Structure 1
Amino acid sequence: MEISASGRLVVRITAADVGKRVSVRALVEHAAPGEKFTDTVGVLTSWDSGVLVITRKDGESVRIPESVLVAGKIVPAAPARRRGPSASYEELARVAARAWRPVESERLGEWELRAAGGFTRRANSVLPLGDPGLPLDEALTVVRRWYSDRGLPAYIQTATGAEGTQELLCAELERRGWVREVSAELWIGALAPAADAGDASVVALSRTADEAWLARYQRKGVSEVALKVLGGGSPRSSEAESGGGPSVWFATVPGAEPGAAPAAIGRCVVDGRWASFAAVEVDPGQRRRGLATDVMAALARQALDEGASAAWLQVEEDNAGARALYERLGFAAHHAYHHYREPGSAGAVRGNAGVGRYRSP
């Protein structure tokens, strides 16, 4: 906390600091003994009518009356990472978007509107990197109309918790009644430790999601649209002509009996220095045998052969098994991401694919 020369706590932030990362201390009303103060760190997203709103790293917003402020200061945008690859939010957002392509997209300024028949929120949401070229309310009207024309609810994918993320946009959406429906985290790490961790010899790799792979995939009755997304979506013509687009790989560990669904599967997209892991799923009866690690090892070795050196993946906040596995492989959280649904609509997309559904080591 900020302390004056006289040793007293002071508030060194004002409403002019909206958009900056701050740390504040506030009095707690009716606090238990020893809990007189509470500290909050995050982005100051508004300061109106005597109330501060601070959006924390996980995307949660905290409202603090100005009258209970004890101290406050601006803090660095994000602590430096001590291990693993370095990456900006924008770089990761763009590489993640290329790994899970929609079948239809359109530009709204620097925003990308994406649709894939309702298969997963990531492929049916706006990626709002930069300026939409319109005032926000007008841009949101265009977004809602675009998705309505396709029979879909409008979703906007945002991120919090790293330099350059979208806490201010999150706050503006919430003020307009948009509902935060899903939150997860994007983790990054070096690729080599994953390649060395398991037995790749038990894993078969393919460039397509065949019937066996789909038999283990958590979403049954996969449509043609879903297969296009899984296979890489619809790359831009320039990428397709040059052969420079991302490459997609599917991993399968055969089941114990002939004709049985695979014991484990996974998906990897190799895109320059980055490899992504997704859809790592293990037969519930085959868990705790290291099969998820084997799948990741095989995919990681393929990615290394293609020149990748870093890896990323997405994992839900309550997926304890996956988080434990990824921590052992050297991954760590980079930022949180969220899907906001337009006011007054019922969700009609199916799942949040690619978030790491592996359940236990």
Structure 2
Amino acid sequence: MMLPPADIYAVLEATWPPAARQSLGPWCIRDGQGGGKRVSAATAEGDWTAQDIPAAETAMQALGQPALFLIRDGDAALDAELASRGYRIVDPVVAYAAPCDTIAPPDLMTAFPHWPPLGIARDLWEAEGIGPERLAVMDRAAGPKTVILGRAGDRAAGVAFVAIHGPSAMLHALEVAPDRRRLGVASNILRASAHWAQDNGAGTLSLVVTTANAGARALYASLGLQAMGQYHYRQK
């Protein structure tokens, strides 16, 4: 079972949710509370005109957030309008997905699912800039969820968050300690994520990665994940 691009966005929203959402005319305005671009960007949910854009900008400013729009498949007209207003492209992203049952199991004793996150998992995230605001996003995810702690050389080496929405799981916040990279840690975390997801009722594992991250994209492709959609942001 593969995930069509439209569903990627729904799974992303449910498994990495904002603190709050509000409808403002054609826009969905998200209150991210420091949780990153994914939970802070506005999206067009209805027909919009150029005259509607200032209202979205004002609403984001009121939340203490920069003017930031998520541009998905089908948003070409909005993309062009924002470009004409001086918005720049930020973080082009590719979404990947694969059926869980096509991903090989992890090596023995290399990855351990648990919830809530252990202190060592929090420490690994904090070292890579993932602090309390993003941990709060994980807490908000409503479906089945877990932390995958990866080990290498008999020590904690990496971590990721995985949550399920409907028949699909999505992996977020995959980080490996710099001195533990190139030891298969990320591969084992991904493989453990797929098998945890399958054990908890999901048929598909998905994730998103910036297009510039060639190393991660090569790893995902080697595990059988396929590109299923893309998006980017426009920031003023």
Please report the TM-score for the alignment, with normalisation by the length of structure 1.
Answer: 0.60
Whether 2:54 is the aligned partner of 1:157: answer: no
Residue 183 of structure 1 and its aligned partner are, at CA, apart by 1.0
Of the three residues 205, 213, 222, the one matched with 1:311 is 205
1:334 counterpart letter in structure 2? M
Give 3-state SS (helix, strand or coil) of 1:276's partner: strand
CA displacement at 1:211 relative to structure 2: 2.1
Q: 1:301 to 1:213 in 2, by over 3 A?
A: same
Shift, 1:339, TM fit: 0.8
Partner residue of 1:118 out of 16, 23, 34: 34
For the Cα contact (< 8 Å) 1:197–1:293, is it kept in 2?
no
- Equivalence for 1:85: 2
Distance 1:285 1:97 in 2: 32
Given the alignment, which residue of 127, 130, 137 partners 1:229? Answer: 137
Does the 8 Å contact 1:200/1:297 carry over to 2? Answer: no
**Residue 272 (structure 1) aligns with:** 166
| Structure 2 gap segments, 5+ residues each | none
1:253 aligns with 2:150: yes
Q: Equivalent residue for 2:118?
A: 210
Flag the structure with larger Rg.
1
Equivalent residues of 1:205, 1:250 under 8 A apart: yes
> Equivalent pairs: percent with the same residue?
23
User: Is the 2:94–2:231 Cα contact (8 Å) retained in structure 1?
Assistant: yes
Alpha-carbon offset, residue 333 of structure 1 = 1.4
Considering only aligned residues, what root-mean-square deviation do their CA atoms show, in Å? 2.2
**Unaligned regions of 5+ residues in structure 1, if any?**
1-83, 234-244, 343-361
2-side partners of 1:288 and 1:221: how far apart?
Answer: 21
- Count of residues in correspondence between the two structures: 235
2:82 aligned with 1:173: yes
Counterpart selection for 2:54 from 127, 136, 141? 141
User: Per-residue displacement from partner, 1:184-203 (whole Å, max 9, x unpaired)?
Assistant: 11112221222x24225322
Match of 2:18 among 81, 89, 102: 102
TM-score relative to the length of structure 2: 0.89
Question: SS of the residue aligned with 1:312?
Answer: strand
Distance 1:299 1:339, change over 3 A: same
Give the 3 Å change call, closer, same or farther, for CA 173–95 of structure 1 in structure 2: same
Change (3 A) 1:171 1:221: closer
1:240-274 superposed Cα distances (whole Å, 9 cap, x missing partner): xxxxx4222101124757xx7x2111111111111
Mapped partners of 2:17, 2:65: distance in 1: 17
Query: Are the counterparts in 1 of residues 3 and 204 from structure 2 also a CA contact under 8 Å?
Result: no
1:190-249 alpha-carbon deviations (Å, 9 max, x no partner): 21222x2422532221222332112111544723x332112235xxxxxxxxxxx42221
